[in-house]
Structure 1
Amino acid sequence: MKFAIPLAGGKLTAHFGHCQEFALIDVEGEEIKAKEILVPPPHEPGVLPRWLHEQGANVIIAGGMGQRAQTLFTEQDITVIVGAPVEDPEILVKSYLNNALISGDNLCDH
């Protein structure tokens, strides 16, 4: 599995479309095997879901995301988790793997 997490200042950012970079974290079983930080292409509708799919992402953990963006990620076979807290990407992935990730309300108002 490969997780994508939008970052600002090294932690999850509430609005994925305005992130400075993405952490891509490879997981085998329940163990983190690799972490890569990539600068995304310029934000335009539909670009990030396609780009993350090309990077091999299966899951995106975000704070907030518009409904249209969620649909575009789903069309790229990427599971969307919204409402995650501002935290280090490794902590978010480990919490997800342990079924302990606090998620819920979409932090995006559009």
Structure 2
Amino acid sequence: MKIALPSRQDLIDSHFGHCEYFTVFTTNDTDILEKEILESPAGCGCKSDIATVLADMGVTLMLAGNMGDGAVNVLNNTGIQVVRGCAGNVKEVALAWLSGAIKDSGDSCHEHDHGHECNHH
């Protein structure tokens, strides 16, 4: 499985469309096997071809901070599931997802509220 995370300095960038790069982890059921860095395209994320590029790489999940519904729909249309409301170190977030500690908060970026954390159960 491949997981993409919008990143800035190894942390989840809360603004998907303006992140510095995407961290792409190849994982098995419990651990990270490989890490790739994909440079972020110029311009807004939802208007670029980033969803297609990530899907072509085999990405099926994005762990993100805030993201508008338009960007979520573009990613979903390429077969990428999106989990919003994540924050923190990209590797720790990916490992938390693999351990089952993260669920989708369902938060869209309507208001620019940066107080969201991943919902742990």
1:40, distance to aligned residue in structure 2 (A): 2.1
Pick from 79, 82, 92: which aligns with 2:81?
A: 79
Aligned residue for 1:23?
23
The TM-score, its normalising length taken from structure 2, stands at: 0.81
Q: What secondary structure, in the 3-state scheme, does the structure 2 residue paired with 1:58 have?
A: strand
Aligned residue for 1:100?
101
Aligned-CA RMSD value? 1.7
Name the CA distance, whole Å, in 2 between partners of 1:71 and 1:103.
15
1:107, distance to aligned residue in structure 2 (A): 5.7
1:43, distance to aligned residue in structure 2 (A): 3.0
The 5 A counterparts of 1:63-78 are 63-78=65-80
2:86 maps to amino acid: A
2:12 maps to amino acid: L
Change (3 A) 1:46 1:39: closer
Q: Which moved more, 1:96-105 or 1:67-76?
A: 96-105
Name the CA distance, whole Å, in 2 between partners of 1:97 and 1:10.
18
The TM-score, its normalising length taken from structure 1, stands at: 0.89
Tell me if the contact between 1:14 and 1:108 (Cα under 8 Å) persists in the aligned partners: no
Number of aligned residues: 109
Change (3 A) 1:79 1:102: closer
Tell me if the contact between 2:68 and 2:108 (Cα under 8 Å) persists in the aligned partners: no
Aligned residue for 2:34?
34
Select the structure with the greater relative contact order (CA < 8 A; seq sep ≥ 6).
Answer: 1
Name the CA distance, whole Å, in 2 between partners of 1:68 and 1:105.
14
Tell me if the contact between 1:84 and 1:102 (Cα under 8 Å) persists in the aligned partners: no
Name the CA distance, whole Å, in 2 between partners of 1:42 and 1:56.
22
1:91, distance to aligned residue in structure 2 (A): 0.6
1:92, distance to aligned residue in structure 2 (A): 0.7
Unaligned runs of 5+ in 2: 112-121
2:96 maps to amino acid: S
